[in-house]
Structure 1
Amino acid sequence: MNKPIKRAFLDTEDGQILYRIGGEGEPLLLLHMNPRSSDEYRELMPILSKKYCVIAMDLMGFGDSDKPPRLYSVADYAKTVIALLDELGIAKTNILGNHTGAFVSGEVAAAYPERVNKLILCNVAGFGEAGKADLMRRFQKGFVIQEDGSHLMERWLARSSYVGSADLNHRWVLDDLKCFGYPLYAVWAVGNYCMEAAERFTAIKCPTLIFWGIDDVEEFERLGLALAKDRYFLSQAIPHSQVVELPGGTICMMNQMPEEIAKIVIQFLENAGVQI
């Protein structure tokens, strides 16, 4: 019988980090997008925990982790990953990161290559100067609490057209609200990191799977954040990588398509050849 997914906290000098853990076997760490939390992997973890020891953490400033006392860089977030691995006695792990979590995952693999077995980078956008500027504007604005409560409905409507269900939208809004009143930490971190990511990711030498949801990529282009074609900087920076493009994969795909995603992840980790 599989161990249930449990929650625990890691104490660090900058505050507590919440993480979820379950299953046994080879470790697999999951890193979430901004402004979500480890809840992004609630559907995926029970599937993957049948084969792996699966861990998902709330990055500092998100979910139920503490707000950091200063602005974190992507390198700072990578250090918290290493701190968690050390706490759990994990010398080497597989890592899957989505969006912001993918930038952090890539930095872990580049800066601490001895700690990463295989790497899965999901939905990494190729931000140009305009996209970076927009990210920084979003950081400056942040999530602001409005006196009339209008921010509550604003967040509900922000994704309701594609999130798929009221229950999932509710979970996303809860994650949103936990960021209100604070800067969007990871937006600032990624905004500063994304222009150097192409060069930084050339240091990644471990087996790597690049995984894009096509609807997700196209939505970023519609929002004016990143051109779909610019995502290929990643496969150029990591030429030994495998690439999978999932038609119908939205920004919510970790929640909406857990069985399909788990199949691709397991095929890659088990060297079975990735097919969709």
Structure 2
Amino acid sequence: METLGEVQYLTVHGYRRAFRISGSGPALLLLHGLGCDSSTWVDVIPALSKQFTVIAPDLLGHGESDKPNADYSLGGYANGMRDLLTVLGIDKVTVVGHSFGGGVAMQFAYQFPDRTERVILVSTGGLGKEVTPLIRFLTVPGSGAVLAAATFKPWRPVVAGALRTLAKSPLSATRDLDEVARIYETLGDPAQRTAVQRVTSHVLNWRGQFVTMTDRSYLARLMPVLVVWGRQDMVIPSAHADMAPTHEMSDVHVFEDSGHFPHKDHPKDFVRIVTKFIADNEPAHYHRGKWRALLRRGDQFELESVPTGAEAAAQPAIS
């Protein structure tokens, strides 16, 4: 029987971190979306584990990880992933992020380019303003009390059951409601409800997403980037895929018959695309000179003109 990786636990900075780890080979870090947990990847972990070491954590405030009154910013999550990987003895990863996890993946690559080999973004946040009103509602004053009432235990099974029934209909608008049902059930936990609202407040408001990577997308020229989306995504528009970084090491794949969870709708194809992308693109190698030059001059800079080796070492750090 193929293993999904049993949930394990480590304490980092005083907080329990739950995670799954399985397989061997180059490391893949799988980051789930808002309100989800590592189980969102169970359909792809067994196949990916045949070629890779797969690490799928429950982000702080989600799943079986602790839900403290702590830092739920993108930077805080990126730091937490760096520290978890360090404790596990893993130096470099291809980071794969779904939805909000895509924002964490981009932040991780930005903060720790020396530890990032590739970036794979799945129906990711952070590429545009638009996002479903259901998520924007979480930032409205008083939404916590509404959520508490809406997830009250007596009718929670009824609502979740109705959502799962609707998910079985042939309508594309309802295809993701089984995952919505799981998220709805987790919001019955006051600690997770608070954590999810804290997360949303860091990246969006009632108008939409205000934290995006568009001002720093030129930095993606230094590493391979794959974007995967579902054309029928009702959470974040698939049109945001058009805003993804484009260069010789980037690729975009949009599943026509898929919603916000393409890795669940088409697990075999998802694994095939990810595996091929990794095979076709050598891992990024952090070069301080190139990183510095690109930061100084932005996307107008020609990477080929950056000196390497002894020439780069001889140049002053600041000019």
Establish whether TM, by shorter chain, passes 0.5: yes
Unmatched tracts of structure 2, length 5 or more: 170-175, 282-319
Distance (whole Å) between structure 2 residues aligned to residue 94 and residue 233 of structure 1 = 21
Q: CA RMSD in A?
A: 3.1
Distance (whole Å) between structure 1 residues aligned to residue 183 and residue 252 of structure 2 = 30
Instruction: Tell me what 2:260 maps to.
Output: 251
Q: Is the 8 A contact 1:14 1:68 kept in 2?
A: no
> Which protein has greater RCO, CA pairs closer than 8 Å, 6+ apart?
1
* TM-score calculated relative to the size of structure 2: 0.72
Letter in 2 for 1:214: R
The within-5 A match list for 1:1-276 is 5-13=5-13, 15-125=15-125, 126-128=127-129, 131=131, 135-140=135-140, 141-142=143-144, 143-145=147-149, 147=152, 149-158=154-163, 160-162=165-167, 173-180=181-188, 181=190, 182-183=193-194, 184=196, 185-191=198-204, 194-204=210-220, 205-216=222-233, 219-220=234-235, 227-235=237-245, 240-271=249-280
Distance (whole Å) between structure 1 residues aligned to residue 3 and residue 37 of structure 2 = 21
Distance (whole Å) between structure 1 residues aligned to residue 87 and residue 184 of structure 2 = 28
Cα distance change on mapping 1:154 and 1:122 into 2, 3 Å = same
Cα distance change on mapping 1:191 and 1:26 into 2, 3 Å = same
Per-residue deviation, residues 50-108 of structure 1 (Å, max 9, x unmatched): 11111100111111111031351111111111011101111111111110111100110
Per-residue deviation, residues 242-263 of structure 1 (Å, max 9, x unmatched): 1111111222332232111000
Distance (whole Å) between structure 2 residues aligned to residue 132 and residue 42 of structure 1 = 25
Distance (whole Å) between structure 1 residues aligned to residue 128 and residue 73 of structure 2 = 17
Unmatched tracts of structure 1, length 5 or more: 221-225
Letter in 2 for 1:201: S
Give the secondary structure class of the aligned counterpart of 1:21.
strand
Identity %: 23
Distance (whole Å) between structure 2 residues aligned to residue 78 and residue 190 of structure 1 = 14
Per-residue deviation, residues 180-234 of structure 1 (Å, max 9, x unmatched): 3232243223327743421133333211111111112xx23xxxxx554344222
Letter in 2 for 1:89: G
Cα distance change on mapping 1:156 and 1:101 into 2, 3 Å = farther
Structure 1 residue 33 displacement after superposition: 1.1
Q: Is the 8 A contact 1:212 1:244 kept in 2?
A: yes
Distance (whole Å) between structure 2 residues aligned to residue 247 and residue 26 of structure 1 = 30
Distance (whole Å) between structure 1 residues aligned to residue 58 and residue 24 of structure 2 = 21
Point out 4+ residue stretches in structure 1 off by more than 4 angstroms: 1-4, 130-134, 145-148, 168-172
